[in-house]
């Protein structure tokens, strides 16, 4: 996983609530057996005027000029600002892969759906939850300053705005540690392989019907 | 000390170790695998030179991409075919049991798990699919995960988890005739909103839930995720236990009785305290129809399309306006005046035998209305299809003008060839009405199987309670 310590970038405002993972990456692109290459199809239905299918040359499709991520400088932005319940719906981690492949490292919203929130940390995308009024204020600031940039400092759990003012944010300590270091969860868990084996031995005694492996 | 909730009982039983910050290494008993969210996980194992920790705890099935017609001919779409063949190859390489596309037991992963007795009460069950919450209907802790976690479970048989908050959603009283489990869960989502359950494990309880069939409980738990809750669950009762008797993967004989004795303990203690309690009156629930692009945008069939002018929350009002524009609807239109182009009866929400019986009972000798371009029934599994044919349900559907298809996820998410064209309006028994979910530009209205069948015959939504 790609580590994240501090990150500075342009904030793109996506002014919608309940942005679901079907919208972030439509189903036809889930047929890929890879983890990469989803960026051109992030928000595909909103981003292009004609329908898309895997295997197309997406650079030749007509972009919807009204969609925020097609407008300069937001096509270069790395921080997404959204409304409540971002990432609801399907568990597809492809949604996170599409956002990171597009270039996003941080998503800020008043709330996230659980599975999306969890998936983000596994792929090096930092989801930041801020109170609704703080998010509102950011939307207002972005509206008047098109190239609005912020710096996210994960170590200090702070967002630094262009005027130097600071927004603190909360993040789970263990997840923060893993993201700062870019740690591989599986490697960490396997350090406890003996505990897992001991648990299984115990459960085989108390619940033998769960071990009728075929 | 207060008693324990069902969630806490199962969670505690599966703790391998706990870190100081409360992060738990949770043992996973059952891992269901399908073709869409697993290839990158298998590839990860391969790259790290790892093997599955316990291959016998896994069961794989292709369901999202499979065609629902002419299956013996194979899959025409090359990209879909590659994904299904990749699952076949991975299962062979790693020794994972798979019900391949032309196996009679193939079907939607959340239908076949219980059907085979692979799902069992008191277990932790995961799958790279958000509708894994379905299995909670059996007093199990079941939830969807992303592909990184799929790989984590494959490699370690565990997941890193924080304890969720608990919510009890109680539906008391008796449901009216024609009101089904699907209407109950849509009404719940309408009440709590699509983020109402975020951070919670939800236990559905109350006399109306207890009186639901096993299939009905599965429909309710299936859509817990549409209310934001990763896990939905129902306490074990004798109906639950009897369901598993004789299922292929379930314990048999003496061991079954031993298991059943434990399963009977799988209910929240009377003095258990939930972080939140929501109560609904069953008698007040009418057949539901979703009108917008989020499952919380739902109203009784007798109502009209809501007007954003009456919504005080500006974020919600904006969402409603966007939804009306996408759905091609005008505020204040009576729901019963909305005409439909297609009907889809299927999905992990509503493709079990009871769902097909309910739809067939409404159809009777009726015919699909002339304005309906396509009405299709996609059974949840090969075994459901077989059972339905034994009962002659296929004849009722075919006589009415429905298509009778082979099992899979089909037009719930339109990864295969079954989809809506732009602007087409569909009465669908599936779980999500998101923009583009059933095909780009498609317009989905979520309903129960009985309501979908009634709409197919009438050509527009009708109150199923007024039929017969």
Contact A209 B322 (CB under 8 A): no
Beta-carbon neighbour count of residue A2 at 10 Å? Answer: 10
Name the residue among A92, A111, A189 with its Cβ closest to that of B198: A111
Indicate if the alpha-carbon torsion angle B317, B320, B324, B329 is positive or negative. negative
Name the residue among B82, B146, B262 with its Cβ closest to that of A91: B146
The H or E element spanning position A23 is: helix A21-24
Contact B156 A93 (CB under 8 A): no
Q: Which residue of A has its CA nearest to B58?
A: A213
DSSP assignment of A81-144, as one string?
A: EE-SSBTBS---THHHHHHHHHT--EEEES-B-HHHHHHHHHTT-EEEE--HHHHHHHHHHHHH
- Tell whether B94 is within 8 A of chain A (Cβ): no
Residues of A in contact with B65 (CB under 8 A): 31
- Interface probe, candidates A19, A27, A187, chain B, greatest B C-beta count within 10 A: A27
Residues of B in contact with A27 (CB under 8 A): 413-415, 437
Q: What's the pLDDT tens digit per position in B4-41?
A: 999 999 999 999 999 999 999 999 999 999 999 999 99
CB within 8 Å of chain A, chain B residues 266-285: none
- CA A198 to chain B, closest CA, distance in angstroms equals 8
Contact A88 B228 (CB under 8 A): yes
Residues of B in contact with A170 (CB under 8 A): none
Residues of B in contact with A92 (CB under 8 A): 36-37, 146
pLDDT in the model for residue B139? 98
Q: Which residues pair with A79 in a beta bridge?
A: A11, A106
Name the residue among A27, A91, A123 with its Cβ closest to that of B413: A27
Give the span between the Cα atoms of A22 and B294, in whole angstroms. 12
pLDDT in the model for residue A214? 64
Q: Is B454 exposed, middle or buried (0-12, 13-18, 19+ CB in 10 A)?
A: buried
**Low pLDDT (below 50) residues in chain B:** none
* Three-state SS at A37: coil
Q: What is the mean pLDDT of chain B?
A: 97
Interface A-B, measured as beta-carbon pairs within 8 A, has a size of 197
pLDDT in the model for residue B2? 84
The H or E element spanning position B179 is: none
Residues of B in contact with A123 (CB under 8 A): 148
Residue given tokens 């429909």 in the structure block: B219
Residues of A in contact with B228 (CB under 8 A): 85, 88, 113-114
- CA B393 to chain A, closest CA, distance in angstroms equals 31
Contact B21 A214 (CB under 8 A): no
Name the residue among B40, B130, B436 with its Cβ closest to that of A33: B40
- Tell whether B440 is within 8 A of chain A (Cβ): yes
Q: Which residue of B has its CA nearest to A45?
A: B440
pLDDT in the model for residue B146? 97
First vs last Cα of chain B: how many Å apart?
53
- Interface probe, candidates A1, A15, A91, A135, chain B, greatest B C-beta count within 10 A: A91
- CA B130 to chain A, closest CA, distance in angstroms equals 5
Q: Which residue of B has its CA nearest to A116?
A: B146
- Interface probe, candidates A115, A191, A197, A202, chain B, greatest B C-beta count within 10 A: A115
Give the span between the Cα atoms of B329 and B327, in whole angstroms. 5
Contacts of A156 (CB under 8 A, 6+ apart): none
Contact A93 B148 (CB under 8 A): yes
Name the residue among A88, A89, A196 with its Cβ closest to that of B156: A196
φ, ψ of residue B403 to 5 degrees: the values are -90, 140
Residues of B in contact with A26 (CB under 8 A): 436, 440
Per-residue tokens: A167 = 């927004």
- pLDDT of A207 over the 80 cut: yes
- CA A126 to chain B, closest CA, distance in angstroms equals 15
Residues of B in contact with A120 (CB under 8 A): none
Contact A96 B86 (CB under 8 A): no
- CA B27 to chain A, closest CA, distance in angstroms equals 8
φ, ψ of residue A23 to 5 degrees: the values are -75, -35
- Tell whether B147 is within 8 A of chain A (Cβ): yes
Contacts of A101 (CB under 8 A, 6+ apart): A36, A37, A38, A39, A42
pLDDT in the model for residue A184? 84
Give the span between the Cα atoms of B106 and B126, in whole angstroms. 18
Give the span between the Cα atoms of B247 and A69, in whole angstroms. 51
Q: Which residue of A has its CA nearest to B155?
A: A186
Contact B57 A192 (CB under 8 A): no
Cα A189 to Cα A162, B158, B168, B389, distances in angstroms:
40, 8, 32, 48
CB within 8 Å of chain A, chain B residues 337-396: none
């Amino acid at each position: 996983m790609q580590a994240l310590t501090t990150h500075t970038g342009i904030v793109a405002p996506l002014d919608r609530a309940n942005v679901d993972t079907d919208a972030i990456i439509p189903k036809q692109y889930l047929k890929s057996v890879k983890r990469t290459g989803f960026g051109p199809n992030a928000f595909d239905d909103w981003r292009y005027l004609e329908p898309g299918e895997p295997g197309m040359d997406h650079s030749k499709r007509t972009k919807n000029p009204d969609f925020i991520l097609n407008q300069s400088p937001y096509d270069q932005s790395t921080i997404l600002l959204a409304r409540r319940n971002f990432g609801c719906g399907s568990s597809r981690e492809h949604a996170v892969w599409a956002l990171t492949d597009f270039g996003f490292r941080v998503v800020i919203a008043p709330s996230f759906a659980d599975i999306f929130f969890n998936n983000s940390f596994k792929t090096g995308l930092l989801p930041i939850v801020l109170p609704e009024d703080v998010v509102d204020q950011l939307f207002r600031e972005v509206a008047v300053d098109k190239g609005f940039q912020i710096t996210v400092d994960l170590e200090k759990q702070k967002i630094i705005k262009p005027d130097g003012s600071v927004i603190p944010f909360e993040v789970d300590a263990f997840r923060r540690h893993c993201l700062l270091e870019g740690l591989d969860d599986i490697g960490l868990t396997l350090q406890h392989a003996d505990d897992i084996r001991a648990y299984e031995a115990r459960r085989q005694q108390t619940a033998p019907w769960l071990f009728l492996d075929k | 000390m207060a008693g324990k909730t069902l969630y806490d009982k199962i969670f505690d039983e599966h703790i391998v170790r706990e870190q100081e910050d409360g992060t738990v290494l949770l043992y996973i008993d059952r891992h269901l695998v399908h073709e869409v969210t697993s290839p990158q996980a298998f590839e990860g194992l391969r790259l790290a030179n790892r093997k599955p920790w316990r291959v016998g705890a896994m069961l794989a099935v292709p369901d999202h991409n499979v065609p629902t017609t002419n299956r013996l001919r194979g899959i025409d779409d090359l990209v879909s075919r590659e994904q299904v063949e990749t699952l076949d190859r991975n299962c062979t390489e790693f020794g994972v049991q798979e019900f391949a596309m032309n196996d009679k037991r193939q079907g939607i992963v959340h239908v076949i798990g219980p059907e085979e007795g692979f799902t069992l009460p008191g277990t932790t069950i995961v799958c790279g699919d958000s509708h894994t919450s379905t299995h909670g209907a059996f007093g199990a802790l079941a939830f969807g995960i992303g592909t990184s976690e799929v790989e984590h479970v494959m490699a370690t048989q565990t997941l890193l988890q924080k304890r969720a908050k608990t919510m009890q959603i109680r539906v008391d009283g008796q449901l009216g005739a024609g009101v089904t489990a699907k209407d109950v869960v849509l009404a719940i989502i309408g009440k709590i909103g699509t983020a109402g359950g975020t951070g919670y494990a939800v236990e559905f309880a109350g006399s109306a839930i207890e009186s639901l069939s096993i299939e009905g409980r599965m429909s309710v738990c299936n859509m817990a995720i549409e209310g934001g809750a990763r896990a939905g669950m129902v306490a074990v009762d004798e109906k639950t236990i009897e369901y598993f008797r004789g299922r292929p993967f379930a314990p048999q004989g003496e061991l079954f009785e031993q298991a059943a004795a434990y399963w009977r303990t799988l209910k929240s203690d009377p003095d258990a305290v939930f972080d939140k309690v929501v109560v609904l009156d069953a008698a007040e629930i009418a057949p539901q129809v979703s009108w917008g692009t989020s499952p919380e945008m739902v109203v009784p069939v007798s109502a009209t399309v809501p007007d954003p002018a009456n919504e005080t929350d500006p974020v919600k009002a904006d969402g409603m306006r966007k939804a009306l524009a996408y759905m091609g609807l005008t505020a204040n239109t009576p729901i019963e005046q909305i005409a439909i182009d297609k009907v889809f009866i299927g999905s992990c929400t509503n493709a079990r035998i009871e769902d097909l019986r309910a739809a067939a009972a409404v159809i009777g000798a009726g015919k699909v209305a002339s304005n309906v371009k396509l009405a299709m029934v996609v059974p949840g599994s090969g075994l459901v299809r077989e059972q339905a044919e034994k009962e002659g349900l296929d004849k009722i559907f075919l006589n009415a003008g429905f298509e009778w298809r082979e099992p899979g996820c089909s037009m719930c998410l339109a990864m295969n060839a079954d989809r809506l064209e732009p602007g087409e309006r569909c009465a669908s028994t599936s779980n999500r009405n998101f923009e583009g979910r059933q095909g780009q530009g498609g317009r989905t209205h979520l309903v129960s199987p009985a309501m979908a069948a009634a709409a197919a015959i009438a050509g527009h939504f009708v109150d199923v309670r007024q039929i017969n």
